[in-house]
Structure 1
Amino acid sequence: MKRLIRTAIPGFCLAFTAGCASSQPNTFTFTADLPPDFVYQAIAKYVPAEGETCSVPGGRNTAVGYNMNWRENYQPTAEIALRRTVSGCPLIINRIELDINATYGKARGDFDADVASVFIRNEVEDQYKSIVNEADESSFYGECQWLFRTSGKPRILRKLLNCKTIDAQGERGTSQPFAAFTPDQLPGKTVKMHIKLADEERPAIGNTWVKVPNGWKRCMGKGFEDQDAYCFGNYKDFSGFQMVDGRQCTIYPGCTE
């Protein structure tokens, strides 16, 4: 009896292929090392595998989410499939879209987010290609910084999150944190995102706060109705503001001078 032989994509051995000596896992592990009060959400997106002419009607079910309910059930480690079949169409992972969420207060809206990405392509330029070490792990790094501003007539302090890549020396780059792999790098491996929090915060909008020896003071502008309240050279008239916990303050971050 002839053995049944099916053409397999290099690096992957189909379980139903007769005479297949070994097979590689169809999953890899994604995890993250994040500062306190940080979590991530991930959406793994899939496209038809190379050489496939099929499509998924409406693109339905071609993405898988992780930690979508992060407030109630956050899991730092996810097992992500490399290949899936949806509506009879063989798909391969194309990218992972990551939201880095960080909270700075107790109210539901006291958080902000920035993004990171993992790209999976058949070809990746050497300068961008991530390395998997002998322990079957690959890491990429970023630094997030809080940017503060005030909002509304009470001038309530709000924060924005800004995340960038960092190099081996800890210098911030210009792009958001990312990693890039070819599919054959990932079976059974672990990809880890490392995010650190910058030591200092800074104003989200220039020329609206003034640096003083023990913090930052908010320029008054034309009054509390002036939402922009640029300094415009007036570094003597300052306004108070309200912390998210309700405290009335005159300086950030210490609140009182």
Structure 2
Amino acid sequence: MFTLSLHRATLLSLAAIAFSGCATAPPSDFKGLNPSKDHYTITATALDEHTIKATTVYRPANGVCSEDTEAFDWRVSRQAAELDREKPTSANEYSFKSPLSIHILGCQLNAAHSHLGLELREGQGGTHRTQDMYFFPKSEMPAREGRHESLRSVNQTRLCSHTFYIPRLGSKVRRFINCFNAEKDAGGYSPAFVFEDLKDKTIHYTFSRVAEDTPSSPRSWLKTPDGYRPCVNREFNSYCQDPPELKQFEMNGQQCDIYPGCTLPEGLD
């Protein structure tokens, strides 16, 4: 046994537990982390074609682990524990149960923030976006009281839309999602909650689609009444010419002519 250095204690503050579902009790992956029985729950309603993963980051309860705590294996402090998702009521409903704290060889770490990652299902060709929520000791919350009241609500609504593009050296369409708080006055801040009040609390996120998909570079696509058609890339730019020269692209394993419908309506070419 040796004394835990302040440097390694600081590294401990980065310990994270990753969740991809919900279970009534922690799995064997928590062995050695000693999760608390007290917990909070995050539920979410996802968009069609999307899945959700969740991560909780734990930090030392007193800011840093005491130097006289028992030494620990750094690899254990970074262990990712994936939980099975409870049987949902629908394909778009998700639930995640997160322990309020974990204990690593004499050091208590409390939940500091959780992340929800929204991403397109496998094969859809897209990137993910993360929504964050933060947990602060009651003594630190007054400094945040001036922010919009929606940032303290357990019911969070995000309005989302997709942007699509074709990489210059590729042919597969890619999409990424943009989400913003339904309460415009909330600005770009993330919701924050009092840690001492988290026990048995449920925080719910609703993701809603509010607009049609749009190209990241509108001048590279020809907009038609039925959707968007990509123009052929030129040596120095990919903008549509007059008249436009159009090309096919790959989407969901198919060769397509138009986004998002893939196949042109009868009579068009």
Normalising by structure 2, report the TM-score.
0.66
Provide, for residues 44-66 of structure 1, a one-character-per-residue CA deviation record: whole Å limited to 9, x for no partner. Answer: 11111126542766374256554
- Contact 1:152–1:227 (8 Å) recurs in 2: no
Q: Specify whether residues 75 and 202 from structure 1 end up closer, same or farther in structure 2 by C-alpha distance, changes over 3 A only.
A: closer
CA contact (8 A) 2:54 2:96 kept: no
1:249 paired residue number: 256
Q: Shift in Å at residue 98 of structure 1?
A: 2.3
119 and 63 in structure 1: CA distance in 2 versus 1, 3 angstrom threshold: farther
1:202 aligned partner: 214
| Equivalent of residue 94 in structure 2, options 76, 99, 107 | 76
Confirm whether residue 142 of structure 1 aligns to residue 158 of structure 2.
Answer: yes
The Cα RMSD (Å) is: 3.4
CA 1:237–1:75: 2 relative to 1, 3 Å: closer
What whole-Å deviation, never above 9, does each CA across 1:167-218 have from its counterpart, x for those lacking one?
A: 2xxx698638x42111022111101111112330000234212323332222
Aligned counterparts of 1:113 and 1:228: Cα–Cα separation in 2: 27
Query: Equivalent residue of 1:207, what SS?
Result: helix
Q: Give matches, 1:213-224, under 5 Å.
A: 213-222=225-234
* Gap runs ≥5 in structure 1: 1-23, 133-137
Q: Is the 8 A contact 1:94 1:121 kept in 2?
A: yes
> 1:42·1:66 contact (CA, 8 Å) conserved in 2?
no
CA contact (8 A) 2:152 2:191 kept: no
Task: State the match for 1:230 in structure 2.
Answer: 239
Amino acid at match of 1:115: T
Q: 2:192 aligns with which of 177, 180, 184?
A: 180
Equivalent pairs: percent with the same residue?
19
1:101-141 residue CA offsets vs partner (Å, 9 max, x unmatched)? 122xx63x634211111111122312156445xxxxx1112
Counterpart of 1:156? Answer: 172
Q: Distance between the aligned counterparts of 2:57 and 2:187, measured in 1?
A: 25
Aligned residue number for residue 95 of structure 1: 113
Query: Structure 1 residues 88, 151: closer, same or farther in 2, change over 3 A?
Result: same
C-alpha change, 1:66 and 1:187, in structure 2 (3 Å) is same
Residues 56-65 or 80-89, more deviating: 56-65
Give the conservation status (yes or no) of the 8 Å contact 2:227–2:259: yes
Classify 1:185/1:63 alpha carbon distance in 2 versus 1 (closer, same or farther; 3 Å). Answer: farther
Q: Which has the larger radius of gyration?
A: 1
- Aligned to 1:31, the other structure's residue is in SS state strand
Indicate if the aligned counterparts of 1:97 and 1:118 stay in contact, CA closer than 8 A: yes
Q: Measure, in 2, the Cα distance between the counterparts of 1:216 and 1:51.
A: 52
In structure 1, how many angstroms separate the alpha carbons of the residues matched to 2:236 and 2:251?
A: 17
The 4+ residue runs of structure 1 with deviation greater than 6 A are none
Tell me the secondary structure at the aligned position of residue 240 of structure 1.
coil
Map of 1:11 onto structure 2: none
Question: Which structure: greater helix fraction?
Answer: 2
Structure 1 or 2: larger strand share? Answer: 1
Partner residue of 2:60 out of 21, 31, 48? 48
Structure 2's unaligned 5+ residue stretches are: 1-35, 86-91
Q: CA 1:216/1:75 → structure 2, altered by over 3 Å: closer, same or farther?
A: closer
Secondary structure at the residue paired with 2:200?
Answer: coil
Contact 1:46 1:95 in 2 (8 A): yes
